[in-house]
Amino acid sequence: MVKIGTLFVVATPIGNLSEMTPRAIDVLNSVDLIACEDTRVTKNLCHHFNISKPLLSTHEHNEIFSSIKIIEKILEGKNVALVSDAGYPGISDPGNKVIIKAIDCDIKVEVISGPCAIINALVGSGLPSDRFYFHGFLKSKSTDRIKELKTLIDRSETLIFYEAPHRIKDSLEDMALILGKERRACICRELTKKFEEYIRGNLEELIYKASFGLKGEMVVVVEGQTLREQVTISRSEILQEIDSKISKGMSAKDAINEVAKMHNLSKNEVYRLYHQ
């Protein structure tokens, strides 16, 4: 009877190659096959650490098909390492489908610890780190992004997002509109690299700083709903109150004006919040 192999889920550096762990190097040297997000990126990584193993492309467009090949190899007794371009496979990167398939087939899955942009950003932001919620990438279209953000209004945990440099200003503007411009936040860019930077302030201040152009991969950490916000009124409650008044026959304009007056809020901000 053939002994079933193991799937090793290996975290790789998010920028600084010196953060590759000795255990990760040992595992990549010991496996029969490396399944990777981009063969070019992993080839460079392997070359740097003198690792010579066959590579199997496993990206978001072929992950289901590739996972079948990976499982077949493991069931034949081969050990396979799964890596992404940076950080942990499966965290806003391909890999989760492979892991689920392996578990469904009773294959042993071992996770090899390493760098994680989420944790670096959270710790370096200076925002509360006892409880946090990782959302990943927001939608690229503003209307869709705003819908997503509305579901996060009342979360008290620190919020963590990935964002692309060409969308950072637009995303911050939507965050300020929905979550509140006074929310504390931090843009964490180029983590572990030469030009690593933590840009701290409230969302309004970060919008101004982003207007000058920011480059590199980014993590945005945002303060959760504070006790101060909860004591007054949450944004979801504002929307509920407006909808309640409209359902009783009041026009949207009058409902917005009345709710704004009741809670001493800007009519323009309440109007924008309701119509987004």
Question: Tens of pLDDT along 80-98?
Answer: 999 999 999 999 999 999 9
* Euclidean distance between CA atoms 88 and 114, whole angstroms: 8
pLDDT at 240: 87
One domain, residues 133 and 75: no
Answer for the pair 18, 49: CB distance below 8 angstroms, yes or no: no
Q: Residue 268 domain-assigned?
A: yes
Element (H, E) at 241: helix 235-247
One domain, residues 129 and 213: yes
One domain, residues 109 and 122: no
Chosen domain end from 115, 134, 154: 115
* Euclidean distance between CA atoms 224 and 128, whole angstroms: 9
> Over 60: is that where the pLDDT of 191 sits?
yes
* Euclidean distance between CA atoms 219 and 22, whole angstroms: 27
Provide the edge-to-edge strand list for the sheet that holds 33-36. 55-57, 33-36, 80-83, 6-10, 108-112
- 10 Å CB burial of residue 94 (0-12, 13-18, 19+) is buried
Q: Residue 142 domain-assigned?
A: yes
One domain, residues 79 and 104: yes
pLDDT at 275: 80
Residue 264 backbone zone (phi > 0: left; psi -120 to 50: alpha; other: beta) = left
Q: Higher confidence at residue 226 or residue 48?
A: 48
Answer for the pair 5, 70: CB distance below 8 angstroms, yes or no: no
One domain, residues 212 and 111: no
* Euclidean distance between CA atoms 12 and 34, whole angstroms: 13
* Structural domain total, the chain: 3
| Domain coverage including residue 245 | 233-275
One domain, residues 24 and 43: yes
Query: Average pLDDT over the chain, rounded to whole?
Result: 92
Residue 126 backbone zone (phi > 0: left; psi -120 to 50: alpha; other: beta) = left
pLDDT at 230: 52
pLDDT at 117: 97
One domain, residues 203 and 240: no
Render pLDDT for 222-245 as a digit per residue (tens, 0 to 9).
999 875 555 456 778 888 889 988
Render pLDDT for 9-24 as a digit per residue (tens, 0 to 9).
999 999 999 999 999 9
| Domain harbouring 89, CATH code | 3.40.1010.10
* Euclidean distance between CA atoms 115 and 15, whole angstroms: 9
Q: Residue 45 domain-assigned?
A: yes
Q: Higher confidence at residue 269 or residue 195?
A: 195
pLDDT at 231: 44
One domain, residues 163 and 239: no
Provide the edge-to-edge strand list for the sheet that holds 197-202. 132-137, 158-163, 218-222, 184-189, 197-202
One domain, residues 170 and 130: yes
Alpha-carbon torsion (231, 233, 237, 243), positive or negative: positive
Q: Please report how many Cα atoms fall inside a 13 Å half-sphere around the Cα of residue 108, on the Cβ side.
A: 9
Q: Residue 1 domain-assigned?
A: no
In percent, how much of the chain has pLDDT > 90? 77
CA gyration radius for the chain? 23
Dihedral angle of Cα 173, 176, 178, 180, to the nearest 10 degrees: -170
pLDDT at 265: 76
One domain, residues 108 and 151: no
Tokens 């392997």 correspond to 46
CA angle 269, 274, 276 (to 5 degrees): 95
- Residue 45: name the closest of 24, 67, 66, 62 by CA: 24
One domain, residues 168 and 186: yes
Q: Residue 212 domain-assigned?
A: yes
Q: Residue 127 domain-assigned?
A: yes
Render pLDDT for 241-260 as a digit per residue (tens, 0 to 9).
899 889 888 898 888 888 88
